[in-house]
Structure 1
Amino acid sequence: MNGSKLMDFSVSEYFNHLKGAGLGSLPGMSAEILDAEERNLISTGHIPVDNWLGVIRTAHGLGIPTTPTML
């Protein structure tokens, strides 16, 4: 989400630009805790669960696979 904010794009617009430049997947999303209460305790500073899910759903909707390892 930081990149989309810096470029003043929606997440979808940002991913479309990246995909057009050759992005094939979004790797490196390890240990994402999706229980909001636990995430707030363990993953301080990470984006809220609903935002994270929105980003992932946007990526999948554009045909960009992701690789989270812990949900």
Structure 2
Amino acid sequence: ALEVTEGARRLGEPLDSYLRRLMDAGLKTLPGTAAEILDDDIRAVLCPDKIDTEGWLHAHRTAHAVGLRSNVTIMFGAIEQPVHWARHLVRTRTLQEETGGFTEFVPLPFVHMATPLYLQRRCRRGPTFRETLLMHAVGRIAYHGSIDNIQASWVKIGQEG
């Protein structure tokens, strides 16, 4: 979402028009990047230079309206609490109920190595294995009947995870 909102902004073009031009050039789907945690209090610390929650939701709502599909990601295990995960899931499920445009949910465990927040001792090392399992399980429940494809990023959680 960040890439397309920034591209449209730099060109002074409405987002829907910009997305249609990208589609004409071959774009088929929009990644769910820059979602992190869709809670502005968390985003203010975790990713202050990225778009806010409403900006992310608007970008995907607009993408779905012009015919693009996208995915939902959540990066968890840094500074947030389970209540923030729940808000993220509810906000994206609500958008899915409105548009039907999300094709999968991809929970991404926070990887701390060399991140400024971790080096400043302002975040955790990432989620526990139990939290990672719970995120996938709760995601499956939260999106039941709405998003069927729940992905596990083995690159981030390991082949055993």
Deviations 1:16-44 (A, max 9, x none): 10011110011261652101111112112
Gaps of 5+ in 1: none
Gaps of 5+ in 2: 75-87, 89-161
Superposed counterparts of 1:15-54, under 5 Å: 15-27=19-31, 29=33, 32-54=36-58
| Bigger relative contact order, structure 1 or 2 (CA pairs below 8 A, ≥6 apart) | 1
| CA 1:30–1:24: 2 relative to 1, 3 Å | same
Segment drifting more, 10-19 vs 37-46: 37-46
- SS of corresponding position for 1:57: helix
Runs (4+) of structure 1 exceeding 3 A deviation are none
Q: Distance in 1 between matches of 2:34 and 2:9?
A: 22
Secondary structure at the counterpart of residue 54 of structure 1: helix
Paired residue secondary structure (1:9): coil
Higher strand share: 2
Q: Distance in 2 between matches of 1:12 and 1:31?
A: 19
AA aligned to 1:8 is G
Shift of 1:9: 0.7
TM-score by length of 1: 0.85
Question: Cα RMSD over matched residues?
Answer: 1.6
- Equivalent pairs, count: 71
Does structure 1 residue 64 correspond to structure 2 residue 42?
no
2:24 & 2:66 partners in 1: Cα distance?
11
**Higher Cα radius of gyration:** 2
* Alignment partner, residue 59 of structure 2: 55
